[in-house]
Amino acid sequence: MIDVSAPPQTTTAPATPRRRRRADRRHIPVLATLALLVTMYAIGVANYDNFSDTQVLLNVFVDNAFLLVVAAGMTFVILTGGIDLSVGAVVALTTVVAATLLNAGWPAIVVLPLVLLMGTTLGLGMGAVIHYFKVEPFIATLAGMFLARGLSLLINRNSIPITDPFWTGMAQERIRFGPGIFISTSVVIALVVVLIGAYVLAYTRFGRTVYAIGGNADSALLMGLPVGRTRIAVYTISGFCSALGGVLLSFYMLSGYSLHAQGMELDAIAAVVIGGVILTGGSGYLFGTVLGVLVLGLIQTIITFQGTLSSWWTKIVIGILLFAFIVIQRLVTRRAR
């Protein structure tokens, strides 16, 4: 006879801890970035007067809102295993075109969507070249970088001041939380971009396809995922974010200049990598990119408070951190295999 009171046999229990451990490994770089950020802030508070003021931390957001938007777009690209070297040049071109048109009397309501469309179109073009002509992203976006920087130099080599009422109003607008505690409207725009991007990556089919392409593009293609369309889309998103970052930088500087944002593409890549996004794609979070931008901003703040260090120390520290986080990424991916 069969004992019906006996509990049913299960064989799936041992697989659960292994899956959980593998899932947790993807969080290690982000947790390392968070630990680094907390440690740096604690060192600043311990060594410098007034470092613990709330406004000091908020100023990191205010001074890096444009970089946060650009890095958000870069995150989409790197998650697919690509790279975009054109972002800094597109930022500069956006500021130059916006300043030129505003000084020519064009209304801000026309200039703003026009420059955003320009950046989006450049990103779309690079994505199309990468997909349809099988050009390496490094080469295609390098060409885009030279094109955008060359166009900005062709338009005007000098700094162009912006006096448009809308632009100056956005530059001077503050959202206040108390006496001497505020953020700029650029910070709000940057945070909205991050929230939308995080939602897209986590909860939409497009976001899952982005991760799948970064994990293995051939497997994603065999699964019937729209690999080509998604690749073009991520470079389009990066172009839009670069143009929006240029708009925010023009709010911050109230000028357009062809030499703005030199090296910003490297800062954006550094923020994404320090934030835990794997350079080969397929793993990482937009929240980590936010932490990466804050780490870069906090390095600059500490050097400013120190007062005796050259600004080049910022690059030196960022280089050391990049080496460290690349090593962490390699260790994590090896153990996952």
pLDDT at 333 (0 to 100): 65
* Phi, then psi, of 224 in degrees rounded to 5: 85, 15
- Which one, of 323, 267, 294, 303, lies nearest residue 60 by Cα? 294
pLDDT at 138 (0 to 100): 96
Question: Looking at the domain assignment, is residue 260 inside a domain?
Answer: yes
Question: Looking at the domain assignment, is residue 248 inside a domain?
Answer: yes
pLDDT at 23 (0 to 100): 47
pLDDT along the chain (337 residues), means of 10: 46 47 69 93 94 95 98 98 97 98 97 98 98 96 98 96 97 93 97 98 97 94 95 98 98 97 95 92 94 95 86 85 83 64
Question: Looking at the domain assignment, is residue 237 inside a domain?
Answer: yes
Are the C-beta atoms of residues 235 and 125 closer than 8 Å to each other? no
Question: Looking at the domain assignment, is residue 18 inside a domain?
Answer: no
Whole-angstrom distance, CA of residue 136 vs CA of residue 123: 15
pLDDT at 309 (0 to 100): 75
pLDDT at 53 (0 to 100): 94
Would you state the structure tokens that stand for residue 74, as one six-digit string? 């870069």
Whole-angstrom distance, CA of residue 217 vs CA of residue 9: 39
Question: Looking at the domain assignment, is residue 284 inside a domain?
Answer: yes
The parent domain of residue 241 ranges over 31-41+52-336
Are the C-beta atoms of residues 194 and 67 closer than 8 Å to each other? no
Q: Long-range contact list for 100-106, CB < 8 A, 24+ apart?
A: 100/155, 100/156, 100/160, 100/256, 102/162, 102/163, 102/164, 102/167, 103/160, 103/161, 103/162, 103/163
Helix (H), strand (E) at residue 228: helix 227-253
Number of domains in the chain: 1
What b/e sequence results for 201-240 when a residue is b if at least 16 CB atoms lie within 10 Å of its CB, and e otherwise? beeeebbebbbbbbbebeebeeeebebbebbbbbbbbbbb
Question: Looking at the domain assignment, is residue 12 inside a domain?
Answer: no
CATH number, domain with residue 327: 1.10.3470
pLDDT at 321 (0 to 100): 87
pLDDT at 329 (0 to 100): 75
Question: Where on the phi/psi map is residue 180: left (φ > 0), alpha (ψ -120 to 50), or beta?
Answer: left
What DSSP state is assigned to residue 9? P
- Which one, of 286, 258, 271, lies nearest residue 60 by Cα? 271
Place of tokens 């930022």: 91
pLDDT at 335 (0 to 100): 60
Question: Looking at the domain assignment, is residue 14 inside a domain?
Answer: no
Per-state percent for the chain, helix, strand, coil, to nearest 5:
75, 5, 25
* Amino acid at site 337: R
pLDDT at 308 (0 to 100): 79
Question: Looking at the domain assignment, is residue 225 inside a domain?
Answer: yes
Whole-angstrom distance, CA of residue 306 vs CA of residue 53: 16
Would you state the structure tokens that stand for residue 134, as one six-digit string? 């099988």
CA 76 from centroid of its chain's CA atoms: 8
